[in-house]
Amino acid sequence: MAGVTDRPFRQLCKHLGAGYAVSEMVASNTALYASAKSQRRMNHIGEVEPIAVQIAGAEPEMMAEAAKLNVDRGAQIIDINMGCPAKKVCNKWAGSALLQDEPLVAKILDAVVGAVDVPVTLKIRTGWDPEHRNAVRVAKMAQSAGIRMLTMHGRTRACGYKGQAEYDTIREVRQHLDIPLTANGDITSPQKAIEVLAITGADALMIGRAAQGRPWLFREIEHFMATGELLPPPRVAEVREIMVAHLYDHYAFYGEYLGVRTARKHIIWYTKGLAGSAGFRQYMNTLDTVEEQLEAVNIFFEQQQAVRERIEYENEKTAPDAANDEQQNWEALAA
């Protein structure tokens, strides 16, 4: 996800249980690669393997060249984006807009697979709109071209992120493929992860928006799948520790000026729904230095901890066992 799955966030997700994390979308126009933004998106220094880079574009030759260049820079997997629904991407006939032109899809797949020796994967949606669902045809085309894994978001481009994910469509595609299939869309809990695997028959799951501000979701799912037991949610102190470590890595990666500004969205996601988070969010947008931002974060979490301790104290007085309930969620602090 552009602006989200940068190297610091990918590293954090892998540390917390994700087995695989794909880079931010990199444009296929290699003439843009000298820009600071492109350089950051292709920065994999110290990254936990496998290193997967997602490329986007509409010209087969440019996509092939972008794939080769990124492999030269350390990519071990190339992922082709034909799933992004953003207007600025689709208006350039890239992302999910390509699903409207199956001959062009075939040319891009052949060009990229033929250009590199590393595995090439593909991300798609179920189609352009509900009247034009062509995921099965595109999936078969991908397998024939040598795509090694297909990831499907269970909505059309026109649906954006509205409505329910079409797990039945993913299941239909699964029935026509021999290559691994990854299901994506609305996977927000360990229980939902198990449900989606059962419904779709998919080999793996990909999680995007649900991990924003909640990267420990990966270890929760991993633990539940291995044991059938739910992990207790992280307590306030651990959330603070994870968040602050993420921020330090984020600042080091972007530098102070850009780091402070791009960190705001992560801070908002981490604190969403907590007591006082609306006012905290507004205050956060007024801060311009690392020191100010970290101080505000630490004060906010100290206040959350104080509220949590007061709740536990009251619970212990009225029902001693309640204070020891491991399933008690620290998000209950929300107003």
For the stretch 177-197, pLDDT in tens is: 999 999 999 999 999 999 999
pLDDT for res 325: 52
Arithmetic mean of pLDDT, 59-73:
95
Residue 198 makes CB contacts below 8 A (sequence gap 6+) with: none
pLDDT tens, residue by residue, 132-167: 999 999 999 999 999 999 999 999 989 989 999 999
Is the Cβ–Cβ distance between 242 and 234 less than 8 Å?
A: yes
Residue 236: pLDDT band (50, 70, 90) is confident
Residue 320: pLDDT band (50, 70, 90) is low
Residue burial 155-191, b: 16+ Cβ < 10 Å; e: rest: bbbebeeeeebbbebbbbbbeebeeebbbbbbbeebe
pLDDT for res 29: 81
Q: What are the CA-CA distances from residue 249 to residues 10, 23, 140, 208, 290 (Å)?
A: 11, 16, 41, 20, 12
Arithmetic mean of pLDDT, 80-108:
86
Residue 333: pLDDT band (50, 70, 90) is very low
pLDDT tens, residue by residue, 4-55: 899 999 999 999 999 999 998 888 887 778 788 888 888 888 888 999 999 9
Arithmetic mean of pLDDT, 45-73:
94
Percent of the chain with pLDDT over 70: 93
Catalytic residue, from 13, 84, 90, 159: name it. Answer: 84
pLDDT for res 34: 74
Task: Provide CATH code, domain 7-227.
Answer: 3.20.20.70
Does 84 qualify as catalytic in the annotation? yes
Domain with CATH 3.20.20.70 in the chain: 7-227
Name the nearest CA neighbour of 197 among 211, 183, 180.
183
pLDDT for res 319: 63
Say which residue, 98 or 87, is predicted with more confidence.
98
Q: What is the DSSP string of 141-193?
A: HHHHHT-SEEEEESS-TTTTT-S---HHHHHHHHTT-SS-EEEESS--SHHHH
Is the Cβ–Cβ distance between 77 and 118 less than 8 Å?
A: yes
pLDDT for res 334: 43
pLDDT for res 257: 96
pLDDT for res 217: 98
Q: Is the dihedral of CA 243, 244, 246, 247 positive or negative?
A: positive
Residue 205 bridge partners (DSSP):
183
pLDDT for res 324: 52
Whether the predicted pLDDT of 327 surpasses 50: no
